[in-house]
């Protein structure tokens, strides 16, 4: 017996599996609803209101981007760039 009232996110089509083996939506637009009258979006997965869909999308489906110097792993490219500012290539 299936769940009554399941959301379209649960029953929606998925194109591939993310780095954690979890199916990912075809795009970040699949999980967000634009709120009327403003530039904010509602995440249908967790209910959080966000202004940057791409950053929030990476919360649910993080990338695995390794640091070429110390091999720390980051979910977002901008976090790796910030980390690299503090790394010395001479270490």
In the chain, the number of structural domains is 2
Instruction: Let me know: does 70 contact 87? Beta carbons within 8 Å.
Output: yes
91 and 69 together in one domain: yes
Q: What is the mean pLDDT of residues 17-38?
A: 67
Together in a domain, 31 and 56: yes
Query: Are 56 and 67 within one domain?
Result: no
Is 69's pLDDT higher than 60?
yes
Average pLDDT over residues 17-44: 73
Between 12 and 27, the more confident residue is: 27
Q: Which DSSP category does 35 fall into? A: P
Confirm whether 10 is domain-assigned. no
Q: If pLDDT is split at 50, 70 and 90, which confidence band does 14 have?
A: very low
Q: Report helix, strand and coil shares of the chain as percent, to nearest 5.
A: 25, 20, 50
Identify the domain containing residue 86 by its residue range: 63-91
Average pLDDT over residues 41-61: 89
pTM of the full structure: 0.51
- Tokens 């509602």, located at residue: 42
Q: Which residues contact 21 (CB under 8 A, 6 or more apart)?
A: none
**What integer pLDDT is reported at residue 20 of this predicted model?**
44
């Amino acid at each position: 017996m299936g769940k009554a009232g399941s959301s379209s996110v649960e029953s929606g089509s998925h194109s591939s599996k993310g780095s954690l083996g979890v199916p990912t939506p075809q795009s970040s637009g699949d999980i967000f609803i634009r709120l009327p009258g403003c530039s904010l979006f509602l995440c249908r997965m967790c209910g959080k209101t966000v202004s940057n869909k791409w950053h929030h999308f990476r919360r649910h489906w993080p990338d695995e981007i390794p640091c070429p110097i110390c091999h720390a792993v980051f979910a977002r490219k901008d976090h790796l760039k910030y980390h690299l500012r503090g790394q010395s290539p001479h270490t």
